[in-house]
Structure 1
């Protein structure tokens, strides 16, 4: 994927002397370094500078991107991910969007999907509707310096871009759309049950809320996940009823839990793949996600000392 991305970046319409490529590797390995050096050697004669930066101080995209923009020489920084395919006019269009004086611009992200995608694929396509995602973003160096870049406590690829967006807005910066700056973002392959491991990201919701409570409620989530709380509460009532020898209460709790879980399953299956493996995955994960999501959500609230329910 990285090679595919780099092949798109070296074909930008900007003159090679007008931009540089910095590849930040937060899981440094020789294979990646050799790939980047090979492509750098192939384009050095054109005047295009391509650097490989191993990142060991911190893990995650926030730390990697900080290392990248601090290593870069330009006054405008363009961010993308190794699994994207930038359009040839990507950089040209992004710079044009900033010509009016904005401190940052959010480009367009295209996520190709089949007619009946899996739940994971449909969830990944949310990038196309994101207000500001670092899979396609342009930020002036001065603005990054003013807010001290990305918060490296966001160690997963989740909400670190929203945090930067909110920090820029809170500092009085203007963020514009760069609709002609397009990157194609094919969905990465994923293992069965990937949605369960993704629930760990809920902890970072608490961190984002602690830092930007007003903007979080305005732009991310106005209310807590009431359906999750109701589902978990119903399950606990069912278990308590069994332990206390109250079968009627246990039965009511179990029925409510089943109804809410089935509703969640049905919503996730709407317009999605009907492959039997996908149906089985949705059934199993729909039963577990409310518990895991609330666990990580509350764990994040405790870790970051914020009232986030």
Structure 2
């Protein structure tokens, strides 16, 4: 699918918004609505929509917004990502096509405030390399475990859902590492590389982006265990910073639970009743402890409690498996 651009003079563009999308049409439509109504003059910025799952529906949606904003701006670009997929690859395709010297990153499920770009540019002094705005997470009144996880992300040091960066700096860093297939690891890797480079990372609390929380499906915590593969890569690249910012120690409770479960199964096969009982009780105690931790401060519906109980049995072995898989895949001593 071809890229599309209106005939705005490239010399007038000072900032480029990079917006990856993955086929969530309603969310993309909402985000484009806010991005095309910024207080910044329309001729001074562009929006680059990178379609990571190229389809005609997204193309037509962007074309519709281009038609509506042609007379006032901003410049609107559609790029179909037909190569490697993922948040890092989509962002790289977007910023490398940008005309602005300043890049503004956000996501399709975000809702930038109308003054987002203006506030970001106002805070972007000559000595600033990267600027992080304020991310307002709209969490439900009764939190689930996923809500707690997202709430912790609100305090993260670096998040590309609301981030401004000099294009020249990303060129120097050669962009995002496309081996990371999840946004959180992609963000952490870039943050750690910026720290190693000594980049000046500033804060702009008035550059606001709202991020409404989407309900997580049943069993979503099991899918999240796959992220441990990329923890291994992140640890290999930045061992000290990983221990300082991500995890000070391995999840020994997971390893103990898996060890107790394997011991119980092995002793059962060997016909050792007392040993099986002892190891089984140890596994049960560790699993119950994990359940209590995950239920603390969350909604207590029957469906959610059942979800936590079932997934607490499966999370430790899955997490250990993916951690070991990551260690083998990236050839790093990671536990």
For this structure pair, what is the TM-score category when the shorter chain's length is used for normalisation? Answer: over 0.9
**TM-score, structure 1 as length reference:** 0.97
Distance (Å, rounded) in 2 between the aligned partners of 1:140 and 1:36: 26
CA contact (8 A) 1:269 1:282 kept: yes
Distance (Å, rounded) in 2 between the aligned partners of 1:291 and 1:32: 39
CA contact (8 A) 2:135 2:211 kept: yes
CA contact (8 A) 2:185 2:230 kept: yes
**Cα deviation, residue 127, structure 1:** 2.4
CA contact (8 A) 1:234 1:254 kept: yes
Unaligned runs of 5+ in 1: none
Consecutive aligned runs of 4 or more in structure 1 exceeding 4 Å deviation: none
Count, aligned residues: 309
**Cα deviation, residue 194, structure 1:** 0.9
Q: For residues 30-49 of structure 1, what are the structure 2 equivalents within 5 Å?
A: 30-49=56-75
2:291 is equivalent to residue 265 of structure 1: yes
Distance (Å, rounded) in 2 between the aligned partners of 1:223 and 1:40: 50
- 2:91 aligned to which of 61, 65, 87: 65
2:221 is equivalent to residue 195 of structure 1: yes
Distance (Å, rounded) in 2 between the aligned partners of 1:107 and 1:50: 23
Distance (Å, rounded) in 1 between the aligned partners of 2:121 and 2:257: 48
Unaligned runs of 5+ in 2: 1-26
Q: For residues 173-184 of structure 1, what are the structure 2 equivalents within 5 Å?
A: 173-184=199-210
3-state SS, counterpart of residue 35 of structure 1:
helix
Distance (Å, rounded) in 1 between the aligned partners of 2:201 and 2:255: 35
- 1:288 aligned to which of 308, 311, 314: 314
**TM-score, structure 2 as length reference:** 0.90
Q: Write the deviation string for residues 187-225 of structure 1: whole angstroms up to 9, x where unpaired.
A: 123321011111111111111111111111111111111
- 1:75 aligned to which of 97, 101, 107: 101
**Cα deviation, residue 100, structure 1:** 4.7
Q: For residues 141-160 of structure 1, what are the structure 2 equivalents within 5 Å?
A: 141-160=167-186
Q: Which residue of 2 aligns with 1:101?
A: 127
3-state SS, counterpart of residue 296 of structure 1:
helix
CA contact (8 A) 1:86 1:183 kept: yes
